[in-house]
Amino acid sequence: MRNVVITGGATGIGYALARHFMNAGDRVTITGRREHVLKEAAGRLGVAYAAFDAADPDAVTEALGRLPATVHVLVNNAGGNTDRARPAARGLRAVAEAWRANLDANLMSAVLVTSALIPRLPAGARVVNIGSIAARGTGSGSYGAAKAALESWTADLAAELGGSGGTANLVAPGLVLDTEFFGDGLDEEGIRRRVANTRNGRAGTPRDVAAAVGFLASPEAGHVTGQVVHVNGGAYLGR
Ligand SMILES: NC(=O)c1ccc[n+]([C@@H]2O[C@H](COP(=O)([O-])OP(=O)(O)OC[C@H]3O[C@@H](n4cnc5c(N)ncnc54)[C@H](OP(=O)(O)O)[C@@H]3O)[C@@H](O)[C@H]2O)c1
């Protein structure tokens, strides 16, 4: 039985990932910062949980005792856009703070959790990072930049794990509904505009993303590594 760790696993895409791996017969641990949300989700799914801030090195170190001793599959899913408002005029301190928050949430969270768990990854381990269509477009500021950096680091990680038959890939979703990602910040017009960019005329679901991650984590995907897999209905073509 494989041990699967999913950061940000209590809501949205992470929750669908946890359900996917549970249904496949794996032993799943979900993480996140809000213990009550995690506890509730873990109870519903029948999985283990560990509450900690993935972007805080001390918190990650402390959490190691609550994570499996061997991690066959790690999905770095925790993240989100922490700088949605982006006021035009703000001081440099505020700019630095806002950029660092998005880099912390989306890049450092994955780098820290992976670095902490590398000694626990067996031969043939699978790491999947969750990026975003925002890395390839324009207009999303520090969020897109953080997800672009995640793509670059994923390629390095593929080289690091390759010697022992491990893989590292990134799944980049387009618009995915039924998550906490947009909060109350996405209206019908925002959805319509994004769906209009797709080739299949619909928004993505958390299950669409989970299916792609599930394949990359499978034994059959051992020769797929260092890649960015776009799950966006053709809204961006990664060819
Ligand atoms: N929904 C979309 O349209 C979309 C599109 C492209 C990419 N994505 C990416 O998909 C991933 C999942 O997002 P989602 O749409 O499922 O949104 P979500 O429901 O907000 O899920 C994000 C999860 O990450 C956790 N998290 C955030 N920061 C964390 C931290 N520092 N430490 C630990 N956990 C943290 C959150 O829990 P806590 O707040 O309790 O920590 C939450 O459970 C994110 O990386 C996001 O950038 C989403």
Q: Give 81-108 pLDDT, tens digit per residue.
A: 999 887 778 899 999 999 999 999 999 9
Answer whether residue 78 is part of any domain: yes
The mean pLDDT of 194-207, rounded to a whole number, is 98
Question: What is the arithmetic mean of pLDDT over 115-133?
Answer: 98
Domain that holds residue 51: 3-231
CA 107 to ligand 1 centroid distance, Å: 12
Query: Which residue reads 């790690």 in tokens?
Result: 74
Pocket test for ligand 1, best of 5, 6, 11 (most atoms within 8 A of CB): 11
Distance 41 CA to ligand 1 centre (A): 14
Q: Classify residue 137: in a domain, yes or no.
A: yes
Q: How many structural domains compose the chain?
A: 1
Question: How far does residue 11's CA lie from ligand 1's centre (Å)?
Answer: 8
Contact (CB, 8 A) for 120 and 219: no
> Residue 173: what are its φ and ψ, rounded to 5°?
-75, 155
Give domain status of residue 47, yes or no: yes
Work out the average pLDDT over 178-189. Answer: 92
Task: Report pLDDT for 18.
Answer: 98
Looking at the CA of residue 51, tell me the nearest atom of ligand 1. Answer: 33
Q: What is the pLDDT of residue 88?
A: 75
Burial of 177 (0-12, 13-18, 19+ CB in 10 A): middle
pLDDT in tens, 162-177: 999 999 999 999 999 9
> Per the domain annotation, does 238 fall within a domain?
no
For position 87, what pLDDT does the model report? 74
By percentage, how much of the chain surpasses pLDDT 70? 100
- Cβ–ligand 1 distance for 144 under 6 Å, the answer no
Q: With bands split at pLDDT 50, 70 and 90, how would you rate the model's confidence at 222? A: very high
**Domain CATH code at residue 178:** 3.40.50.720
Q: Is residue 63 part of a domain?
A: yes
Is 24 inside a domain boundary?
A: yes
Q: Is residue 131 part of a domain?
A: yes
How many residues appear in the chain?
Answer: 239
More confident residue, 129 or 139: 129
Active site residue 143: yes
E-assigned strands of 91-195?
Answer: 126-130, 167-173
11 lines ligand 1 (CB under 6 A): yes
Q: Which of 229, 167, 184 is nearest to 204 (CA)?
A: 229
CB 29 within 8 A of CB 4: yes
pLDDT of the residue at 64: 98
Examine the pLDDT at 199 and tell me if it is beyond 80.
yes
Across the chain, mean pLDDT equals: 97
User: For residues 35 and 11, is the Cβ–Cβ distance under 8 A?
Assistant: no
* Ligand 1 contact via 214 beta carbon (within 6 Å): no
pLDDT of residue 147: 98
For residue 67, being part of any structural domain is answered with: yes
Task: Give the number of the atom of ligand 1 that is nearest the alpha carbon of residue 209.
Answer: 10
Cβ atoms of 203 and 195 closer than 8 Å: yes
Q: Measured between alpha carbons, how far is 3 from 192 in angstroms, rounded to an integer? A: 39
Alpha helices of 46-137 — where are they, by DSSP H? 57-63, 92-103, 109-117
Tell whether the model's pLDDT for residue 2 goes beyond 90.
yes
Mean pLDDT of 52-72: 98
**Contacts of residue 41, Cβ cutoff 8 Å, sequence gap at least 6:** 9, 10, 11, 15, 18, 30, 49
> Is it the case that residue 207 has pLDDT exceeding 80?
yes
Q: Is 37 in the pocket of ligand 1 (CB under 6 A)?
A: yes
* DSSP secondary structure letters along 86-97: --SS--HHHHHH
Confidence category of residue 109, pLDDT binned at 50, 70, 90: very high
